[in-house]
Amino acid sequence: MSPAAGSPGGGTQVTLTGSNFTQATVVRFGPNLALSFTVVSATQITAVAPPGSGVVQVTVTTPGGTSNGVAYSYVVAPVPVLTSVFPGQGPVGGGNMVTLTGSGFTGATAVRFGSTPASSFTVLSATQITAVAPPGSGTVQVTVTTPGGTSNGVAYSYVVAPVPVLTSVSPGQGPVGGGNTVTLTGSGLTGVTAVTFGATPASSFTVGSATQITAVAPPGAAGPVQITVTGPGGTSNGVTYFYVGVPTLTSAAPAQGPTPGGTTVTLTGTNLLGATAVRFGAVNATSFTVVSATQITAVAPPGSGTVQITVVTPGGTSNGVPYTYVATPVLTGLSPTVGPLDTGTTVTLFGSGLTTTGSVLFGSTPASFTVVSDTWVTAIAPSGPAGPVNVRVTTPGGSSNSVVYTRVGPPGI
């Protein structure tokens, strides 16, 4: 039998478990009939205990006879005592959780706010109950009813909460994948129960004060949404938050430059607005300018080798595109060092860093050339006046030092 005890005033519902209950006609608590009973199955009956006292034997009678008895005790329950209600106030619409503290709460059958039953309640222990306040107004007395009676009352006030107002969100943008923390500023934020980005609830949020909330943005589609908060006083106005797509890079032009840096590189891609950093490998660009959502110009910092250029925006970090640092070319000599005034002489230039040679100049005059290796370039000397001329090569790594080529006029008799 469960429970095996109840109030002397009766009314406790008891579940009897056994066998051969199908045609039960009588359930007795000692000499007294149960106030009512229901045959649930051949093995179970629920019965409402009548008033009584002491310990009695509960029996079941069927056409097959009367069962053995099991003990049921009538116990005098203490009158419950309520000492505090926390919080002591809440919105007129109800719905907030209230903790009741006191004694004698075991077996509580009702919690009332004035004459209105709590929306729901849970008996945590003999000294504590949590209850959801129903809608109401003014100041009412909260009471608890148990088999021992109804407690004293403790005051609870219904207050009209202000409608929350939002004035700003910082930062005002973030990645489509969410996960970034934003700070909402406004007023009337105490007791906020929901923060939404568009129609999507925040991943989590913390009410810092009546004027500030921090929230973790959920995932969303690229574009603007309205953030709103809901509290006891209603739902706020919206503030705009932008979901930004992850940036992508498709090209860098030029894709190479000198090791000292200084080259202006044009980056092409998507979702580049709001860029906060451009990196060449792990090194920040010397400077950069966001031209549009698809283009950024950046000045390469010093470096070496091949590195990946990436762009960082509120939407995240882009893929990388390669950029190669090229050493400044060096010339160590040329052969022959002397030639005629007319064009046509093949001159071999020796040095290092010559693989990416883009031009060969005799003075200011460009010459046709062929790159043979990183240390060897051949050029056709252009025509020019008699005398020495400085020869140099240019590559993405810069301009080389000069070596001298001398033009000599034809002999005369």
Asked if residue 240 and residue 254 are part of one domain, the reply reads: no
Co-location of 379 and 322 in the same domain: no
Is there a domain that residue 413 lies in? no
What six digits make up the tokens of 169? Answer: 């969100």
CB 197 within 8 A of CB 182: no
Q: Indicate whether 297 belongs to any domain.
A: yes
The residues near 20 (Cβ < 8 Å, ≥ 6 apart) are 42, 62, 64
CATH number of the CATH domain containing 20? 2.60.40.10
Beta strands 398-399 and 65-66: pairing type? Answer: unpaired
For residue 155, being part of any structural domain is answered with yes
Predicted local distance difference test score (pLDDT) of residue 313: 92
Q: What is the DSSP letter of 264?
A: E
Q: What is the pLDDT of residue 61?
A: 97
Residues of the chain falling short of pLDDT 50: none
> How far is it, in rounded angstroms, from Cα 179 to Cα 392?
55
CA distance 188 to 141: 27
The Cα–Cα gap between 343 and 15 comes to: 117
Per-residue pLDDT at 265: 98
Residue 107: per-residue pLDDT = 81
Residue 106 within a domain? yes
Pull the structure tokens for residue 345: 């002489």
The predicted pLDDT at position 146 comes to 84
Q: What is the pLDDT of residue 69?
A: 96
**pTM listed for this prediction:** 0.54
Q: Select from 133, 159, 185 the last residue of a domain.
A: 159
In the chain the first and final C-alpha atoms are separated, in Å, by: 141
Give residue 143's domain range.
81-159
Q: What whole-number distance in Å separates Cα of residue 126 and Cα of residue 123?
A: 8
pLDDT tens profile 291-304: 999 999 999 999 99
The number of distinct structural domains making up the chain is 5
Q: Which helix (H) or strand (E) holds 227?
A: strand 223-231
Note the pLDDT of residue 320: 97
Q: Are 330 and 403 in contact (CB under 8 A)?
A: no
Q: Look at residues 134, 159, 184 and tell me which one is the last residue of a structural domain.
A: 159
Quick one: DSSP state of residue 2?
B
Q: Say whether both 285 and 347 belong to one domain.
A: no
Q: In angstroms, rounded to a whole number, what is the distance separating the alpha carbons of residues 413 and 249?
A: 69
> Could you report the per-residue pLDDT of 232-253, keeping only the tens digit for each?
778 999 999 999 999 999 999 9
Confirm whether 88 is domain-assigned.
Answer: yes
Residue 336 counted as domain residue: yes
Burial state string for 308-334 with b = 16 or more CB within 10 A and e = fewer than 16: bbbbbbbbbebebbebbbbbbbebeeb
Inside any domain, residue 175: yes
> 124 and 63 in one domain?
no
Q: Quick one: pLDDT at residue 171? A: 93
Of 326, 361, 380, the one marking the end of a domain is: 326
**Structural domain contains residue 357:** yes
**Spatial separation of the C-alpha atoms in residues 149 and 81, rounded to whole Å:** 10
Do residues 311 and 247 touch, judged by C-beta distance below 8 A? yes
